[in-house]
Amino acid sequence: MGEIAQDQLLTDEAAETALETYEKWETKEAKVKEIIFETISPVTYYQISNEHTAASMWNKLKTMCEHKGAMAAADIHK
Q: What pLDDT, in 10s, does the model give residues 19-65?
A: 999 999 999 999 999 999 999 999 999 999 999 999 999 999 999 98
Q: CA 59, 62, 67, 69: dihedral to nearest 10 degrees?
A: -170
Question: Does any domain span residue 77?
Answer: yes
Q: What pTM, to 2 d.p., does this model score? A: 0.69
CA distances to 52, 60, 65, 76 from 71, rounded to whole Å, are: 27, 17, 10, 9
pLDDT digits (tens, 9 = 90+) for 12-31: 999 999 999 999 999 999 99
* SS3 of residue 51 by DSSP: coil
Determine the structural domain holding residue 42 and report its residue range.
28-78
4 within domain boundaries? no
- Residue 17 belongs to a domain: no
Specify if 6 maps to a domain: no
Q: Say how many domains are in the chain.
A: 1
Q: Does residue 70 fall inside a structural domain?
A: yes
